[in-house]
Amino acid sequence: MNLFPLAKNRSHVSHVGGLARLLPLTLVLVGFISFVVLVQTSGVATNGYDVLRLEKERDDWRQQNYQLEAEASALASLNRVEDVARNKLKMEPPKKVVFVEVDAKQ
């Protein structure tokens, strides 16, 4: 026999009321966590694509460096230097080469 029916009902109401209050909070929390996970995942994906793009850029710059070295070497090649010296600057091979000995004490 229930000697305190009111008390039991009160307790039940209180318990249900607590759950009802907890539910929105839980939903908000779950929603927030989901949002954070989504944002992070999206961020990771974006960063991942950025990393891939930057890696390709790095490789392209590296190739560009090789290309520039080849171009610089071609510009400094003996054939080109002679061509510029003879035809553009109108230079000629020296008729005489004079060696000047410098006294080490001077």
For 52, the token pair is 């891939």
Q: Of residues 13, 17, 28, 49, which one binds other proteins by CB under 8 A? A: 49
The site for other proteins, by CB under 8 A, has a size of 31
Q: Of residues 30, 37, 74, 85, which one binds other proteins by CB under 8 A? A: 74
Residue 34 binding other proteins, by CB under 8 A: no
> How does DSSP assign 19-87, residue by residue?
HHHHHHHHHHHHHHHHHHHHHHHHHHHHHHHHHHHHHHHHHHHHHHHHHHHHHHHHHT-HHHHHHIIII
Q: Which is nearer to other proteins, 12 or 53 (CB)?
A: 53
Q: Which is nearer to other proteins, 21 or 80 (CB)?
A: 80
